[in-house]
Amino acid sequence: MSPPNSAERPAVGRGETVAADAPVRLSEAGGAGLGSRSSVATASPAVHTVALHKRFGNTIAVKSLSMTVERGEVFGFLGPNGAGKTTVVKLLLGLSRPSGGEALVLGAPLGDLETRRQIGYLPELFRFQPLLTAREVIRLHCRLLGRPKTAWTQDANEALHTVGLLERADDRVGTFSKGMQQRLGLGVALLGTPALVVLDEPTSALDPVGRHDVREIIRNLRERGSTVFLNTHLLEEAQHVCDRVAVIDKGTAIATGSLGELLGHHSRVRLKVEGLGPNWWSGLGRFGRWHREDEWTIVEDIDPKRVADLVGELVRLGGRVEAVVPEQQSLEARFLELLSER
Amino acid sequence: MSQILTIANLTITEAVRRRLLAAFLAITVVIVGLSAWGFDRLSHAQSLTSGESNIAVPQALILFLFMFSFVLALSASAIASPSISSEIESGVLLTVVARPIRRTEILLGKWLGLAVLLAGYAAGVCALEFAVVYWVSGFVPPSPFLVGVYLFAEGALLLTLSLALSTRIPAIAAGVVGVAAFGAGWLAGVVGTLGTGLNIAALRTVGDVGRFLLPTDGLWHAAIYYLQPSSLIVQHFAEGQRSDPFFAQGAPSWAYLLWVLCWLFILLLAAVTSLERREL
Ligand SMILES: Nc1ncnc2c1ncn2[C@@H]1O[C@H](COP(=O)(O)OP(=O)(O)O)[C@@H](O)[C@H]1O
Ligand SMILES: [Mg+2]
């Protein structure tokens, strides 16, 4: 995958530095505008939305959402129930029309038919034709995708193997459990090596083994260069596989960035230092806020990159550093904090 | 086009697996068998002269096919009305629409698949029934093929109506509306026939408007026309009974057939537009 054309990329990106005290707000990406269609398809981001808006009657499901998902990254779309995740995905796939705003998926406008050939989609709530067998479902999708007929058998075997359904390949889907249907859905979403795979709560019906398998599948997709758009309310899932996440609540992204960026500047360090006088830390305020907990000294809000400097400084002052325990705020705590900040 | 065929193929496969064909086949064998017995009694009845019997057999055949046209219409409505709405509710459609396929192609594919099933059913029953009637009584309708075509067309109209409704309203509601429309269309036809016979302009208008709004009854009368031997027509006019709903005065006009095609096209267009615009 060639690197995205940075001139076209809006301000929000992977490497953006963020003010330490504010959650990573989405800047007005709208300023960058939508890349012209003439630009080479691979140069465009996988997903780019500008002020995307969707209302159902009086409910505003998506509120001026602007975001960019780069090619090749695993992007977590994280939010509580009813945040608007599914609605956004449906808009991106052209299953539902936006009430306002614009978006490009793989460089094409929403609902573009040819682009769908390069998108694999696992819906949140779905069923396959109950009277077809798993193998027949896959062949149907091969046909709809326009895969060459000679490839169908191998495609089906590969997909069924990947999701662990090979033994049940010739059973009717109507006899499958919800989790097995979800596995099959995942297999179908992977057909034809799509450039973008959109997974809406892919593990909602899966057992722990299934969840583990899904993580493996997502990692393989990344290795292969596919972009993954993962909708989830499971923080753990995002933590395991995502390069970058957007936290969405009430239809708006309230933070985006890598997990490190989201958590990093809110980390703290626990120190045990001997051999220094009372209130020895009072001169070290520039590293963060200090306080004591029993024999531990705790520095809040320290930039993780400066921990080494801090230790060096303590040693220089003549202290004996017995323990340095970096403590990242848990994603859950950070998540709740972000949601309550609004 | 290939996507339409994919969906048509899928629709037929599902119907076969749903044992729909088996059920239709069973019903067909039963009703054709019963009618064979009836026609045999009728054509060999001692109380009828051969002239009377020559008229009684085609009249009975018209009544039989009237019943069959009702079964056909009901079946068409029953198979079409859940085809979109149930798939939206269950989420089956969601897995298909995200593929490189237009919703128009999905709808036309379903229509094609269901129409093929309906045509097969209509052709099967007509062929069997005509063969049986010929075998027991020697009667052959003037144009058996066209009878089959018009009966199928009647079912196809209802199929299209139910399919269009199915893009917006739940299966049961769509089915009920389809069947009720069919009944109302037939009733309007009867009222129109009465109006013609009794020369009451208002009633005649009801019939005309009915045949225009839902052409099923008009097509049914076309089928009747091609079932009537000349002996029946001669007798009908000789007796001067002009308000018989099971009699057709003449072949359908080209203008009317053109309107039927337009009607079909408009309804398919409505169905396609409705599905294209629907949020999934
Ligand atoms: N078809 C619809 N009609 C009305 N409201 C809807 C519809 N779809 C979603 N919503 C509303 O939009 C909001 C976001 O829903 P959704 O995108 O499903 O959330 P999530 O997937 O994040 O749990 C919810 O308040 C939901 O009730
Ligand atoms: Mg959802």
- ipTM of the complex model: 0.88
* A61 close to A83: Cβ distance less than 8 angstroms: no
d(CA A138, CA A183): 12
Which of B7, B14, B93, B99 should be substituted to probe chain A, the one whose Cβ sees the most A Cβ atoms within 10 Å? B99
> Hey, what long-range contacts does B206-213 have (CB within 8 A, 24 or more apart)?
B210/B184, B210/B185, B211/B185, B211/B256, B212/B259, B213/B185
Give the number of the atom of ligand 1 that is nearest the alpha carbon of residue A85: 22
d(CA B165, CA A178): 30
Is the CATH number 1.10.3720.10 carried by domain A8-260? no
Q: Which residues of B touch A (CB under 8 A)?
A: 3, 6, 10, 13-14, 17-18, 90-92, 94-102, 279-280
* B208 or A43, greater pLDDT: B208
Specify the pLDDT at position B197.
80
- For chain A, residues classed under CATH 3.40.50.300 are 8-260
What is the span of the domain harbouring residue B37?
2-277
pLDDT digits 0-9 by tens, B12-60? 999 999 887 788 888 888 888 888 888 888 877 777 777 777 778 888 8
Is pLDDT of A58 > 70? yes
Write out the two tokens for B25.
């086949």
% of chain A at pLDDT higher than 90: 57
Structural class in CATH, domain A264-340: alpha beta
Phi, psi of A326 (to 5 degrees): -70, 135
Give span(s): CATH 3.30.70, chain A: 264-340
Contact B279 A128 (CB under 8 A): no
What are the tokens at B17? 């697996």
| Dihedral angle over CA of A183, A189, A191, A192, nearest 10 | -160
Q: Does pLDDT of A302 surpass 50?
A: yes
% of residues, chain B, pLDDT over 90: 44
Read off the pLDDT of residues A166-200 as tens digits, 9 standing for 90 and up: 999 999 999 999 999 999 999 999 999 999 999 99
Q: How far B16 CA lies from chain A's nearest CA (Å)?
A: 10
Q: How many angstroms does the Cα of residue A59 sit away from the middle of ligand 1? A: 8
Q: List C-alpha distances in Å: B266 to B164, B200, B270.
A: 10, 32, 6
Q: Which residues does A238 contact at the CB level (< 8 Å), separation at least 6?
A: A76, A78, A230, A232, A245, A259, A331
**So what's the pLDDT on residue B246?**
77
pTM: 0.84
Look over chain A and give the mean of its residue pLDDT values, rounded to a whole number.
84
Interface contact flag, A127 B90, Cβ < 8 Å:
yes
How many domains does chain B fold into? Answer: 1
* Residue A159: pLDDT band with limits 50, 70, 90: very high
Biggest distance spanned by C-alpha atoms of chain B = 68
